[in-house]
Amino acid sequence: MAEPSSVLVIGSGGREHALVLALARDPQVRAVHAAPGNPGTAEAATNHPVDALDGDAVAALATRLGVDLVVIGPEAALVADDADAVRAAGVACFGPSAAAARLEGSKAFAKEVMAAAGVPTARAHVCATADEVAAALDAFGPPYVVKDDGLAAGKGVVVTSDRDEALAHAAGCGRVVVEEYLDGPEVSLFAVTDGRTVRALQPAQDFKRVGDGDTGPNTGGMGAYTPLPWAPPDLVAEVTRTVLQPTVDELSRRGTPFAGLLYAGLALTRHGVRVIEFNARFGDPETQPLLALLRTPLARLLHAAATGTLDAEPELVWDAGSAVAVVVAAAGYPGTPRTGDPVGGLDVAVEGASVVQAGTAADARGRVVSSGGRVLAVVGTGADLARARERAYARLATVELEGSFHRTDIAAAAAEKQV
């Protein structure tokens, strides 16, 4: 069936809420389900309780609901085996198999695939002992980059010029990847793929450090914007040719095709584009502004990727303007966040702006309360980045959450053409 009318989205968080909103806008879609979802998804979808890490439970829910398509959001669910279980139950699934999701689940595996496919990335050593780490750090010199090999929710990477700090991070990790420092602006490029055909989205940029001016520790992302007025015009074509297509082809050649969302985190260095990392799902918070501008009906697109018919789909269509997302984080994030505080101002209407919920829950009285570090994102759209920023921050000013904080400089340099 080319036009799915009911979709189940697995996972709860800002990207899943953004997916639910975009799927609900697809004119062919009559029902959207979310599991477990949050109070935000409940407004556009029916929420169902599920353990997202239990593939059999997810497949059983999909079968019981009789949906045409399942979209798996969280990386941990993909690395478990949700997508395999759903496909085995005969339901179309957007999301790679556990074998292909290792591209995100293991940084060492990703390096190996890139080497085999000739994809440009930082030189790296995979290290199992403190002596190996010390030798790798000294081989590359500062600034040092040390990455936990496994999934770490965006917090497994330390970039520092302090050798002791680099050693200490490695000591707390187990197997690590030590790599060459990549200097240059970062770009996130997402692609929808069915394992053969690749359709890249427009580029976005996220802000990983917790503080204004890119200070403080790394987070899952404090804000994002799209498009990038400063990016080279041939960037998407070049990255598709040198990164996305070769990676998809290599996984296909190995008999573990990647069908889902391939996310390339890139550095534009003086020596050319280099891959920083791959993710196997819609990235957060870039998904929020990207889907705010995507006009192509999303359910149809993801269904085509899930069923191997992406080559028959038309080119993606975008709104001409810009979109900016700013994350509102709970006190303590990215350490242990304060939770359980009421979130106010969710119903306020600001033109060209919306709220995407992530770390929220309903309390016993049905009020929306904070339940995680990144509580929500405000998304503003407009003719250009300056206007989109203004609207995002205007919407943010009406959100009430005690102790919360946000970055004030999301997309500021790009809006002022200072990147």
Shortest distance (Å) from residue 74 CB to ligand GLY: 11
State which residue has the least CB distance to ligand GLY.
283
End-to-end CA distance of the chain: 45
Tokens 């790394």 correspond to 218
Part in contact with ligand AMP (CB under 6 A); list of ranges 26-34, 178-186, 385-393, 396-404 = 178-186
As given in the structure block, the two tokens for residue 354 are 């919306």
Residue 279 near which of ligand GLY, ligand AMP, none (CB within 5-8 Å, type-dependent): ligand GLY
How far, in Å, CA of 61 to CA of 48, rounded? 9
Residue closer to ligand AMP (CB basis): 186 or 212: 186
* Binding flag, residue 154, ligand GLY (CB under 6 A): yes
Is 17 in contact with 74 (CB distance < 8 Å)?
no
* Binding flag, residue 247, ligand GLY (CB under 6 A): no
For 4, residues 6+ apart whose C-beta sits below 8 A from its C-beta are 28, 29, 67, 68, 69, 92, 299, 300, 303
Question: Taking CB under 6 A as the rule, which mask of x and - marks residues 104-133 in contact with ligand AMP?
Answer: ------------------x-----------
Q: Which of 102, 111, 208, 300 binds ligand AMP (CB under 6 A)?
A: 208
Residues paired with 267 in a beta bridge: 186, 274
Cβ neighbours of 54 (radius 10 Å): 16
How far, in Å, CA of 24 to CA of 19, rounded? 8
Q: Which of 70, 98, 145, 324 binds ligand AMP (CB under 6 A)?
A: 145
How far, in Å, CA of 179 to CA of 220, rounded? 20
Q: Which of 16, 68, 286, 341 binds ligand GLY (CB under 6 A)?
A: 286
Question: Total residues at the site for ligand AMP (CB under 6 A)?
Answer: 16
* Binding flag, residue 206, ligand GLY (CB under 6 A): yes
How far, in Å, CA of 380 to CA of 69, rounded? 29
Q: Which of 179, 194, 284, 313 binds ligand AMP (CB under 6 A)?
A: 179
As given in the structure block, the two tokens for residue 229 are 């007025």
Residue closer to ligand AMP (CB basis): 55 or 154: 154
Q: Which of 13, 105, 203, 221 binds ligand GLY (CB under 6 A)?
A: 221
Q: Where are the alpha helices (DSSP H) in 53-140?
A: 55-65, 75-79, 82-88, 98-105, 107-117, 130-140
* Binding flag, residue 149, ligand AMP (CB under 6 A): no
Residues paired with 381 in a beta bridge: 323
Q: What are the CA-CA distances from residue 73 to residues 35, 53, 282, 412 (Å)? A: 10, 11, 7, 29
Which of 71, 112, 116, 120 minimizes the C-alpha distance to 91?
71
List binders of ligand AMP among 269-308 (CB under 6 A).
276-277
Q: Which of 112, 132, 165, 186 binds ligand AMP (CB under 6 A)?
A: 186
Q: Which of 12, 279, 354, 360 binds ligand GLY (CB under 6 A)?
A: 279
* Binding flag, residue 246, ligand GLY (CB under 6 A): no
C-alpha dihedral over 55, 81, 189, 312, to 10 degrees? -80
Part in contact with ligand GLY (CB under 6 A); list of ranges 31-39, 162-170, 282-290, 323-331 = 282-290
How far, in Å, CA of 361 to CA of 350, rounded? 23
As given in the structure block, the two tokens for residue 328 are 């509102």
* Binding flag, residue 218, ligand AMP (CB under 6 A): yes
Strand, coil or helix: what is 71? Answer: strand
How far, in Å, CA of 30 to CA of 8, rounded? 12
Q: Which of 71, 83, 170, 182 binds ligand AMP (CB under 6 A)?
A: 182
State which residue has the least CB distance to ligand AMP.
277
Part in contact with ligand AMP (CB under 6 A); list of ranges 38-46, 177-185, 367-375, 381-389 = 177-185
Part in contact with ligand AMP (CB under 6 A); list of ranges 6-14, 129-137, 173-181, 374-382 = 173-181
Which run of H or of E encompasses 246? helix 245-253
Shortest distance (Å) from residue 168 CB to ligand AMP: 17
The contact set with ligand GLY (CB under 6 A) reads 154, 206, 220-221, 279, 283-284, 286
Residues lying near ligand AMP in the complex (CB under 6 A) are found at 122, 145, 147, 154, 157, 159, 179-182, 186, 208, 218, 265, 276-277
